[in-house]
Amino acid sequence: MTLEAGRLERGLQKRRLSPVAFLMRWELLLVLLIIVASTISTWLSPHFLVQRNLLDMTFHFVERSIIALPMMLITISGNMVDLSVASTLAMTAVLMGVSYQAGLNIWLAVLLALVVGALGGLLNGMVIVKARLSPIVVTLGTYSLYRGIAFVMLGNLYVTGYPPEFTYIGRGYVGNTPAPVPLVIFTILAVLFGLLLHRTTFGRFIYAMGGNEQACRYSGIAVDRIKIILFLLSGLMSALAGIMLSGRIGSTRPNIALGSELEVITAVVLGGVSISGGKGTVPGVILALFLIGIARWGMRLMGVPGEAVIVVIGLLLIVAILLPELLRRLAPGARE
């Protein structure tokens, strides 16, 4: 037990330094890719680099960006993803819409959606921990369950008529500035998640779990409790994303955000988070989110159909999984 604890402590010390070292490698590549994508988009549309256009572009991927923050923590903690995020988004958004349509105050409906989202994430975490089941298996089940609940509540109908004070959080601007409200909300959350991951003991435990979960258990770290908290955060952020998406488009449907979980996972892995856990940074994920957003916007300027965009996202995911392993093998000292 003492040996395992010593290994864990050395791992924690190493993780404290890893964000800076990691930033010098993977994030630099992402910055270069963003420059290339921006150059191509500017060539396609001279107005692409106009400040207002760049800021408005963020409207189209902020919701997925918010979901990517807890997904990043879940993946870093080791061999885990949450496949139910888009379904949680749909279920909570529909619940909010139906409740508002039934006469509930819009902000009480928003609060209800957030609570149910957190409970949905809590259910995922509890089943994974207590039943010792694979997160992929459990969240694949709730992927269908939560989306099915959304369709049961609303069928093929949709909710509209949200008040302006609600839609403001999804498509408004801060005062007289060109800064979108959703972007400001995401920025605040990104800072908070960054501090949590890189500046707290809780964050170091997340890294340590991804490196050696068994050593964490031997050292007395509440691994199961941390897993439950991470999935609860995932459900909560998915609900917030659903609220903001409903505000942006001014309506709620059961098929809202269908397939978004693929793009979220792609952004997390493309951002340098190891699919096996233990590695990754908030800046890397943010850069990956912007890269995907710029690529989407550029393909939209080229008139690329939505189906082709999905193919590109899938290819990006494969590349994001394979490239780090190739770089690791090519790096000096890789045989050690």
Mean pLDDT of 284-297: 89
Model pTM?
0.88
**Given this model, what pLDDT does residue 17 score?**
45
Tell me the C-alpha to C-alpha distance, in Å, between residue 231 and each of 89, 247, 262.
14, 24, 17
User: pLDDT confidence of 249, banded at 50, 70, 90?
Assistant: very high
Q: Are 68 and 272 in contact (CB under 8 A)?
A: no
Which own/partner contact pairs does 165-172 have at CB distance under 8 Å and 24+ positions apart?
165/106, 166/106, 166/110, 166/247, 167/247, 167/248, 167/250, 168/247, 169/243, 169/244, 169/247, 170/243, 170/244, 170/245, 170/246, 170/247, 170/248, 170/249, 171/59, 171/247, 171/248, 171/250
- The yes-or-no verdict on residue 79 having pLDDT over 80 is no
User: pLDDT confidence of 21, banded at 50, 70, 90?
Assistant: low
- The yes-or-no verdict on residue 332 having pLDDT over 60 is no
Mean pLDDT of 144-163: 95
**What CATH number is given for 2-329 in this structure?**
1.10.3470
Give the start-to-end residue ranges of the domains of the chain: 2-329
Mean pLDDT over the full length of the chain: 87
What is the distance between the alpha carbons of residues 187 and 180, in angstroms, rounded to a whole number? Answer: 11
* Residue with token string 């340098």: 272
Closest CA to 120 of 97, 145, 148, 137: 145
Mean pLDDT of 168-181: 92
Give the model confidence (pLDDT) of 97-140 as tens digits: 999 999 999 999 999 999 999 999 999 999 999 999 999 999 99
Higher pLDDT, 20 or 231: 231
End-to-end CA distance of the chain: 26
Tell me the C-alpha to C-alpha distance, in Å, between residue 330 and each of 66, 224, 326, 327, 335.
34, 36, 6, 5, 10
**Given this model, what pLDDT does residue 24 score?**
52
**Given this model, what pLDDT does residue 103 score?**
95
**Given this model, what pLDDT does residue 44 score?**
77
CA 20 to chain centroid, in Å, comes to 22
Task: Kindly tell me the sign of the dihedral angle through the C-alpha atoms of 200, 112, 165, 55.
Answer: positive
Mean pLDDT of 30-42: 85
Mean pLDDT of 153-178: 93
- The yes-or-no verdict on residue 52 having pLDDT over 90 is no
H helices present in 163-222, as ranges:
164-171, 181-199, 201-211, 213-218
